[in-house]
Amino acid sequence: MDTKKVLVAMSGGIDSSVTAMLLQEQGYDVLGVTFVSWLAPDKNIEEATDVVDAKILAEKLSIPHYVLDLREDFKNTVIKNFIDNYLAGITPNPCVFCNPIIKWQRLLEKADELNCELLATGHYAQIREEKNRFILSKGVDENKDQSYFLWKLKQEQLKKTIFPLGKYKKEEIRELAKKFGFEYLAQKKESQEICFIADDDYRAFIKNNVKNIEKKIGSGNFISTDGKILGKHKGHPFYTIGQRKGLDIAIGHPLYVLNINAEKNTITLGKKEDLLKHELFINEINLIKYKTLPEDIELNTKIRYRTKAVLSKLSKTNNTVKITFNNDVSAITPGQSAVFYENDDLVGGGIIIKK
């Protein structure tokens, strides 16, 4: 039997490194690639931490290593989308946007160029083939499962993808790194949530990347649910639905951001219970488990990565899908992803829209 060639996306971290080790142990012909999507202006691509760490590991494993410079592409797509969304009063999820159009598309192109049949990443998720469809399901480790971020992947992308870590828990991966003789990997810090946002401070990023934002947008009014002016805010892009801290308003009880109106530069504030809603609408729908969405199906829907899924009914309405929850959910945020599951299988997802 021919040895299968697999291209492993390597960041130098423990997950992608153990992915390469596992596949090598299983007899695959492993090649490594590190893609650079974002880098401080004063750094050379060859000095990027991910590149250096991955190159060192590839040498130790005696596998070829390649570097892909995707900075321009990333800037013109992911970062542009990120900024445009915030300026439009929408809260984006850049990882969801990046995965199909940058990460998978560009890595699969590189895999084809290198005659690799498969692409492997260190995501905690699983893929199986069933009834001529490639089905994405949760990773065994509930705390690390990353399927939520992958709902936009297409069938042709899933077909060529493997997730060797999906059946492991994080602690087992640490132990495997030690077993393979790379104990230092088990001590490495986890990577930050959004690769291009230092210290998770998206407000500073927007200020630094939108010229004269204070003049372009500037201060606006905080208003109550009945339209009364409650005070001044610093500009609508600097707030998100559900936010409580940093409002600098005292009226005797906590206030939360309920709505962002970019056109009027107003932000509606209210009580915590005002955030509760029982339905939402999504567009940009991508289905994974089924070719078409079964009529009035009941599924478990997550409206953000770190929340529990809630049982809900899905129904098609023209180009959108309406999701009605059995129990109210809090802080539904336009621009974020609603991802729906059948048990552990990811059925599909969509982008929450304003209604």
Residue ranges of alpha helices (H) inside 217-269 are: none
Residue 167 neighbours by CB under 8 Å, 6+ apart: 126, 139, 140
Query: How many Cα neighbours within 13 Å face the side chain of 267?
Result: 29
Q: In angstroms, rounded to a whole number, what is the distance separating the alpha carbons of residues 348 and 143?
A: 20
Chain-centre distance of CA 39, in angstroms? 19
Q: Where are the beta strands (DSSP E) in the chain?
A: 5-9, 29-36, 65-69, 118-120, 125-130, 133-138, 161-162, 220-223, 229-233, 256-261, 266-270, 276-287, 297-302, 310-317, 320-330, 337-342, 345-352
Place of tokens 């790379």: 182
List the one residue out of 52, 57, 21, 23 whose CA is nearest residue 36: 52
- What DSSP character marks residue 171? H
Q: Would you report the helix, strand and coil content of the chain in percent, each value rounded to 5?
A: 30, 30, 40
Q: In angstroms, rounded to a whole number, what is the distance separating the alpha carbons of residues 26 and 45?
A: 32
List the one residue out of 319, 182, 334 whose CA is nearest residue 258: 334
Instruction: Produce one character per residue of 231-242: b if its CB has 16 or more CB atoms within 10 Å, e if not.
Output: eebebbbbbbbb
Provide the residue type at 9 as one letter: A
Q: Which residues are catalytic?
A: 98, 195
How many residues make up the chain in this entry?
355
Q: In angstroms, rounded to a whole number, what is the distance separating the alpha carbons of residues 207 and 204?
A: 5
Contact 346, 301 (CB under 8 A): no
